[in-house]
A and B are shown apart, each in its own frame.
Chain A
Amino acid sequence: MKTLAYEIQLLLRDRAAWVLTALFAFVLVYALNQGVELAERQRESAKTVLDASRTFDGQVREALARQAIDPRQLARQPLSAVLPPAPLPLLAVGQADLTPAFEAVSLWRLQTPTDARVEIENPSRLLAGRFDLAFVLVWLFPLFLLALAYDLLAGDRESGVLRMVLSRGVSPRKWLAIRALARGAPILALALAATWMSASWGGVAADTSNARLLYACGVVAAYGVFWLAIAALVNGLARSAAAAATAVGAVWVTVVLVVPTLLNVVVESLHPMPSRAELVASAREASGDAERRGNEVLNSFYRDHPELAPPGMQVDFAQRILAVQDEIRGSMDPVRLEFDSQLAAQQELVELWRFASPAIAAHEALTDLAGTGYWRHRAFRDQVEGFKQSVYDFYSPRIHKNRPLTKSDVAELPRFEFAEEPVERWTSRVTLSIAGMLALALLAALLAGSRLSARKLAASSS
């Protein structure tokens, strides 16, 4: 304990350590503040859409209680599918431009991809990315940690203090572990505090937020331990403080920049995504083609679904549209499936290779926990597809059969309620990420340990 206390004291007397710690605290507060603004905007958008949706739903129920309504009238109004605010929005704001949290589902345009962006962003801002807590934790946190811990013993080796230390009969591994803990403590503590504050500052949005927060702290701690183990490994090898600084810098660039970029390139090359423009263009083409062949499509539809044919085959505009929609779905399904399967394949590859760089593992885990990552949005998109189907299943037979909606239909009116992923799914993903990072940290620590015998260290000391 006394050694640890002195190590902390040594750090406290280093002016650079104070400056770095203060700078990191400022960066964290700034990131949290940025997150507050963005999360608030997202929450407002979701609330606005949800309120409008609930008001409309209430009006429909009231109207149906009084009189029967033609389903065409209701089907004209788009229904809202809203992804509720993320459980920990401040942890990782997410990319609303790529993962919209709202979709207007209209019976007349069920098969047309919609541009449901609720946020309009400056392209240069999109290019730079979000300055949110996840960015700071994944990219900058290791830099600050390494700035304090890069010289765990290289400087002592140069000055000769290391020989004095080793002559005291202390275990070099234990001594280095204590020193790494002391050097990493201020930055690690700030990172953990900011992670914890992301809930209180941003508001807890789900029942699982506290559990998610604990896991997030686990991710941050495991990521920090990995970088401290890297610092220990580098110090076991480097003969001078300058060499150690260069080496930890090179490892940071490799782990945080090079490997994720390479993985991105590999993922894009192996599973290229069809362009969204292509998706929209093919939808338009399919729609135009189906509309041109209107009567043919309609006859074909009723041949396939004779049970839906209206009495006397008196067909109106709405029935024609529904038949056309069905035809478009047939043409669009392969394109959409390819889009989804490529996206899933990409994510699968990222999941598989995330441990090639703990930065990827940490980022995936943090966005997963925040509820702004791939998995929650994937669940939202899947549920929106299901919702579209239920809208179609509800209205289609009633419109084809010209059956008005009555009070008895109220209970069956389609309504979108997002069901969160079961807890065990995200916990197993995140636990694996934490375990993977700790395993890599252990590997680095074992390698460092093999370099940390008193004999080897003394041989390389002045």
Chain B
Amino acid sequence: MLEALQLTKRFQERLAVDGLQLRVAPGEIYALLGPNGAGKTTTINMFLGFLAPDGGEAKVCGVSVAADPVGARRKLAYIPEQVALYPRFTGVENLDYFSALGGKSHTRAELYELLEGAGLPRAAAERRVGTYSKGMRQKVGIALALATGAKALLLDEPTSGLDPAASHEFSRLLRRLAKDGVAILMATHDLFRAREDASHVGILLGGKLVAEFTKDQLEGEDLEALYLEKLRA
């Protein structure tokens, strides 16, 4: 579970995140929408413990990020817009290396299974990551989330720059993770994917959560129109 309790972050005079109150339960996919500079990435950075909040608290599976940043990070997985990996390692080696950093150890067979589960065939997993497309890197990121058994997943613009097929494949994997009980918070500009995949959608504007919808509430509604309306308000 991911919780933001009156989470606030200020950069000098500017309020980047303003008293954000948010909860992502296990099995939920929460899409955080908002224009550039709305505070989406700042929120994710506070969940990762990369930024200290000026007020409020971020919790990962009940662990306060401020009190125990390493413990909190061990419970989550993170997939940025560009999944940066070591180009001299193969996909399977990268997965093994990053799993080991998080204190997890897997056999080679398990690692291949995880990568295949994330949609990366064995032949590709044995190739150096330097030759990978963005979509393939994202799959390694998903495999990493699977490998670490993370209970929470943070995604920062995960489908940006992916072709429709890769984006669809990625969504399928996300839904699978959610089904397995992972709480997923996804900062995105992709309204289509948000509508398709998210169980909850929040609109962040100037650091404030100005609207929140459940999937049921969005049924029959035009998310784009709602989003633009909030932006203009």
Contacts and interface: CB of A to CB of B under 8 A. Distances in A.
A459 B50 contact: yes
A6 interface: yes
A10 B85 contact: no
B89 A458 contact: no
A168 B101 contact: yes
A160 B97 CA distance: 16
A458 B98 contact: no
Contacts of B70: 169, 171, 454
A169 B52 CA distance: 16
A166 interface: yes
4 pairs of A and B residues whose beta carbons are closest in the complex: A458-B50, A160-B84, A169-B73, A169-B74
Contacts of B93: 6, 9
Contacts of B112: none
B125 interface: no
A161 B50 contact: no
Interface in A1-16: 2-3, 6, 9-10, 13-14
Contacts of B74: 168-169
A163 interface: yes
Contact of B98 (A9, A10, A168, A459): A168
B6 interface: no
B101 A170 contact: yes
Given A6-B97, A455-B49, A169 B103 contact: yes
A165 interface: yes
A10 B50 contact: no
B3 to A, nearest CB: 18
Interface in A123-140: none
Contacts of A196: none
Contacts of B85: 161, 164
B102 A160 contact: no
A165 B101 CA distance: 7
B110 to A, nearest CB: 14
B81 to A, nearest CB: 9
Interface in B50-109: 50-52, 69-74, 76-78, 80, 82-86, 88-89, 93, 96-98, 100-103, 105
B45 interface: yes
B78 A455 contact: no
Chain B contact residues: helix, strand, loop or mixed: mixed
Nearest to A165: B101
A10 B85 CA distance: 12
A167 interface: yes
Contacts of B83: 164
22 contacts: A9-B89, A9-B93, A10-B86, A10-B88, A159-B84, A161-B84, A161-B86, A163-B80, A164-B78, A164-B80, A164-B83, A166-B48, A167-B78, A168-B102, A169-B71, A169-B102, A170-B102, A171-B70, A175-B101, A455-B51, A458-B50, A458-B51
A361 to B, nearest CB: 36
A358 to B, nearest CB: 32
Contacts of A163: 50, 78, 80, 84
B69 A454 contact: yes
Nearest to B72: A169
B97 A455 contact: no
Interface in A155-203: 156, 159-161, 163-171, 175
B48 A458 contact: yes
A459 B49 CA distance: 10
Scoring A2, A163, A169 by chain B CB atoms within 10 A of each residue's CB, the highest score goes to A169
Contact of B100 (A6, A171, A458): A6
Interface string A14-32: 1000000000000000000
Nearest to B99: A168
A455 B98 contact: no
B76 to A, nearest CB: 8
Interface string B113-156: 00000000000000000000000000000000000100000000
Contacts of A14: 88
Contacts of A6: 89, 93, 96-97, 100
B161 to A, nearest CB: 14
